[in-house]
Each structure stands twice: as C-alpha cells, then as structure tokens.
Amino acid sequence: MTPPRSYTDQRPLLDRGELTATALVEYYLAQATQHAGLNAFLELFAQEARTRAAALDAKPAHARGRLFGLVLAIKDNIVYRGHRAGASSKILTGFESVFTATALERLLAEDCIVLGRTNCDEFAMGSSNENSAYGPVHNPHDPTRVSGGSSGGSTAAVAAGLCCAALGSDTGGSVRQPAAFCGVVGLKPSYGRVSRWGLIAYGSSFDQIGPLTASVDDAALLLEVMAGPDPNDQTTAPTPYRPSATDGPKRIGILREALESPGLQPEIKAALEQTRDRLVAEGHRVELVDFPLLEVMVGVYYILTTAEASSNLARFDGIRYGYRAEGELDLETLYARSRSEGFGPEVKRRILLGTFVLSAGYYDAYYTQAMKVRRRIQEATRALFAQYDFLLSPTTPSTAFRIGEKATDPIALYLADIFTVHANLAGIPGLSLPAGTDGQGLPIGLQLMADYLNDAELLAFARRLAPTLASLTAHPA
C-alpha cells in the first residue's frame, strides 16, 4: 500500500496495526532507490533503518513514542553519532561524528527512524542546491529545475515521497525557499527555539534547524519535540515551548515592498492577492504595511553571514580530520592546498568576502555598519508586531528556475533570498506554505512570519490558513 504522505495520517494506521514501521521503511527505501536520479540522498542507512523499524514494531503500544515509525531524512550538516557528516563538501571527506545533534537526539528518543542523509549546498551556502560537491538536486516537479537551497535534498525527498519528513537548516531561507520551490511546508523556528548543538555552523547568529513536512501538523509536532533549552547551546531560549490554539480574527500585514516588487513573478503576486481577499472575507484585518528596509536586507545578510562563515570555517584545515592535500608539504602549503582543493567555489567566495569585511580598514565600513542596520531591522520588525499578529509575503520572487540558469550570476542567486532573510536577521519564526501553482505547474509558496518566540501561534494560524492556500486555483502565465 501507499502510505499517507503526512505522519499525522500515518499514526492512526500504525496504532491500529494496519501499518508497521517495517513496511514504511521498505516503502521509502524502494521509493528512494527508484528516484535516485533526483540526487536527494547522499547515503541511505538501509540496514540500520530496517533493524530499528523491527525493534520499534516489537514495542508494546503503551511504550511507543510520539514519533513512532516516522521515517526521517537529515541534511548532511546535522551530525549523527557513528555516521558520516560532510556538509556536502570535499573538505569533510571521511568525517564521522562522535555525537548526535540535540534536535535529532530528541526526535530519536520519540521513536523516529533515520532513513539517510541528504544532499545540500556545500556548508549550506546556496539557494539552488547546485553548490554541492556531489552534484545538484533535481526538483521532483520538473527535474530540469532546481530544488532550491540549501536544504534541497531534504525538501526534494519529502516532496517526492522518499521519506515522511526531513530536517534542514535555515540561515537565510534554506528551509523555506526550497519548500516553496517543491511545494511542501518548511519552518524556520525563532532563533534559539531549537538547539544548534550538532549543526555544522555557517552563520552562528542566523542558523536554525527546521522541519520540512507534508503538513503543518507534522511541522508543529516535530518542533514541539525538538524545541527547548539545551545546556550545550547557550543561545537556546529559556522559555519553554507550548503548543497554542488560535481563533477569532487576526491582524495581518502584507509587506508592500514585497507585493509591489518589480521582480515578483505575476502568478506569485496573484496568489498573494487571492489569499488577501480570502482572509478579508473570513473576517481578518489585512493591510499593506511599509517596510523600506527590505531593499537593504540582502546586502546586510551577506556581509554578516560571510563574516561569520570566514571565522566558522577556519577550523577546516586538513590537519585533524577530513580532506588533506597529498604530498610532502610544509605546514603553510598544506593548509593552503587542503583548503583550496577541499572547498568549492561558492564557499571560497564567501570566505574571501567575509575575511574582507572583517579586515582592518574595512571592519567599520562594512561589518559595523551592517550590525547597526541589523539592529534597525529588528527594531522595525518589533514595531510591526506591536500592530499586527502576522506578516504575510511571498516566500520567493519566482518559482523554481532551471538548473544552470543562474550559475554564473551569484548576485541573481543571492536575490532569491530577498523575502526570506528578514526572519533570520530579526530572529523571528517564518513558515512557507504551498499556495497553488504557476502556469507551468510549478509550486508557489507564501511565507507567514510571527513575532519572536511566537512559533506556536504561527503554526496554529497556519493550520487555519493552509486549506485556504491549498484551494487556490492555478495561475496562468
């Protein structure tokens, strides 16, 4: 049998014995093998998944965890004890983790099954999943197009039905942007809501682990299990996470600069306008709001994240683990050769940019100024949430573009994050929801954002909004 896509729908079947964890693992392994051409998985943990499923099936009903039998994929930058983790980079060839990321550990404690690790942009640096050392991930809706990045493998796996859910990481949109391109639900929690312990760092003040799922209910369940303080990550929020219910009319702001952006694909604009009209008809207060800082956010984001990346990636030197240049080399040459050969072009570009903005003579002109603008963005965002419960915008300016279409234009790729970097700069939660298709049948995503640590309220309202978005008609080109 073909299982339901959502774990929320699978669980009653598991509880009644109409479905087993073993059957689910076999189904997803077969699907992953059949669709290997998508290049979503770097490695399948086939025998381990079968063994774990058999052990879970032997558990009595009262001892089953909240995620019993949920078949999960993990992005290649989330570590899992005894398994390889490479951030899809040659520099970490052969590296095997000695511990498990806190977020994954909490999911495993509730009886999920890890099917394998997924492809991603190298060190999560990219918006198309074309920067992986192991080749691009293909979009299940059209294999000639990108899956989005950097969590493209995790997203494509969920969209193609190769697993039930997946973990990604979101530094500037890397969960939400591919979710929009592939037509699934993608959540970036508030900064600090989920522990970063065990996530290979890109931009430490931006990174968050987030779920990719077939439904809002599944995303909410995974967040509830993962969320909470962690002594290994001092940036985790001390406030405990509690699910929320929401009813009654809400105050919703639509970012005028996003709706009226000249680069916004007409079908996506139409989807946003249809959603606005339906929300008004349901009794919500929906207004256009001005946020002129939108035009500077991508620049601020790339100054700050490249600065953090240049520091975070200094540890990968070819000495202690991972790729090491061959030959009898002096220490300085060994460092230079190992890093030059081990890192891909986009990672080297961002390390160089980050080193530049942190260098003497440029630190104040770039890094310090960007930090000041980030503070202004945070303050302006707080002011908006004093007036509105949620902000609504497109997730991306276009639907999925063709593989190779923007490969020679990094600025065009960076601008693919124009609507998603806001949530990372402000530290707030953001959620991408499927919202119909364009004239070519490619998924459209709309983004909902809430105030800091209001993740539960965001998900509760998204449950109400999702059916409205799912019923949107296709928008002809």
Least Cα distance to 194 among 208, 214, 213 occurs for 208
Assess contact for 196 and 224: CB atoms under 8 A. Answer: no
Active site residue 174: yes
Task: Give me 428's structure tokens.
Answer: 């707030």
Active site residue 398: no
Active site residue 90: no
3-class DSSP state of 303: helix
Sign of the torsion formed by the C-alpha atoms of 225, 226, 227 and 231: positive
Distance of alpha carbon 221 from alpha carbon 210, whole angstroms: 12
3-class DSSP state of 136: coil
Query: Residue 328 contacts by C-beta under 8 Å, 6 or more apart in sequence?
Result: none
Phi, psi of 348 (to 5 degrees): -65, -40
Sign of the torsion formed by the C-alpha atoms of 337, 339, 342 and 348: negative
Distance of alpha carbon 117 from alpha carbon 24, whole angstroms: 17
To which residue do tokens 């693919």 refer?
416
To which residue do tokens 């086939």 refer?
46
What does the longest C-alpha to C-alpha distance in the chain come to? 72
Active-site position among 88, 89, 174, 338: 174
DSSP state of 142: E
Least Cα distance to 63 among 23, 15, 13, 25 occurs for 15
Q: Can you spell out the DSSP letters for 393-421? A: EESSSSSPPBTTTTTT-HHHHHGGGTTTH
Active-site position among 75, 188, 250, 406: 75
Distance of alpha carbon 184 from alpha carbon 431, whole angstroms: 10
Assess contact for 423 and 429: CB atoms under 8 A. Answer: yes
Query: Residue 137 contacts by C-beta under 8 Å, 6 or more apart in sequence?
Result: 38, 39, 40, 119, 129, 146, 147, 152, 153, 156
3-class DSSP state of 5: coil
Active-site position among 89, 150, 154, 432: 150
Buried b (16+ CB within 10 A) or exposed e, 65-94: bebbbbbbbbbbbbbbeebbbbbbbbbbee
Distance of alpha carbon 325 from alpha carbon 91, whole angstroms: 10
Sign of the torsion formed by the C-alpha atoms of 60, 66, 71 and 73: negative
Distance of alpha carbon 169 from alpha carbon 475, whole angstroms: 30
Beta bridge partners of 44: 116
| Catalytic positions | 75, 150, 174
